[in-house]
Amino acid sequence: MRLSRTIAAIVGLSLSAGAATTATADVTASSSTNPFVSLNQQIGSLLGEERNALGALPRGHLGNLTRPRGATTDGPQYNRQWLASQPTARGGREWQCLSEALYFEARGETLEGQAAVAEVILNRKASSRYPNSICGVVNQGTGRKHACQFSYTCDGLPETISEPGAYRTVGKIARAVMDGAPRLLPTDVTHYHTTAVSPSWASQYERTGQIGVHVFYRAYYPGRQASN
């Protein structure tokens, strides 16, 4: 950083000045001639300017620097405080399908990670290449070998909700995303996988970012060029 380089330069000049003073006279420096007093004053001034500059940044700006490329920057703050402020979520069949998908696919993720998975499902719903309902997207390919889009729908295991607290959490996330919460991901992101696997399709799609253990992608289609 520029601040670090400036401080280093000041330290170097002050040490040189101190060395020169010691070489020419064996005296006790007063506060008016001690180069380290001046050094402390200059560092303090620079740090004060740095704090003022950081304080002038818009709220959340530093956190937004870590978001995936192309993501929006005005979304809700998905944290425990936000979660506690949300009422108990309810909804119809579409909300239930999204909540179940988040529970089985992402309940161990951060709140932002769960919201991002929900956004992928809604992005698919909005695309002409996928079913036009949340339940249709979640259950696409279910019952056909190697065709299911979400593995929990065809892993042969019963879909049992055994963690009611986690289900209440994903229900709130599902409700917020369905109700139009500002997005974390671009609207054309339709694929993701966990960092524990490396699917063959990943090399053919454009990676847009990672949240938690999920990596997100936009797909290439005929006639579509890769983004720069």
- Greatest CA separation found in the chain? 90
Residuewise pLDDT in 10s, the chain (228 residues)? 544 554 444 445 444 444 444 443 343 334 445 555 565 666 666 666 666 655 554 333 344 444 444 444 455 689 999 999 999 999 999 999 999 999 999 999 999 999 999 999 999 999 999 999 999 999 997 766 556 788 787 777 778 899 999 999 999 999 999 999 999 999 999 999 999 988 888 988 999 999 999 999 998 765 554 443
- What is the reported pLDDT for 76? 66
Q: Is-contact 138 100, C-beta < 8 A?
A: yes
Across 147-197, the runs of DSSP E, i.e. the strands, are 189-194
Q: Is-contact 177 186, C-beta < 8 A?
A: no
What is the phi/psi pair of residue 192, to 5°?
-155, 160
- What is the reported pLDDT for 153? 77
> Domain 76-184, what architecture?
Orthogonal Bundle (1.10)
Distance CA 161, CA 216 (A): 26
- Name which of 178, 166, 30 is nearest 97 in CA terms: 178
Q: How far is CA 16 from CA 3, 35, 151, in A?
A: 20, 9, 67
The pairing of beta strand 206-211 with beta strand 214-218: antiparallel
pTM above 0.85, yes or no: no
- What is the reported pLDDT for 132? 95
Per-domain residue ranges of the chain: 2-56, 76-184
Express the helix, strand and coil content of the chain in percent, nearest 5 each: 50, 5, 45
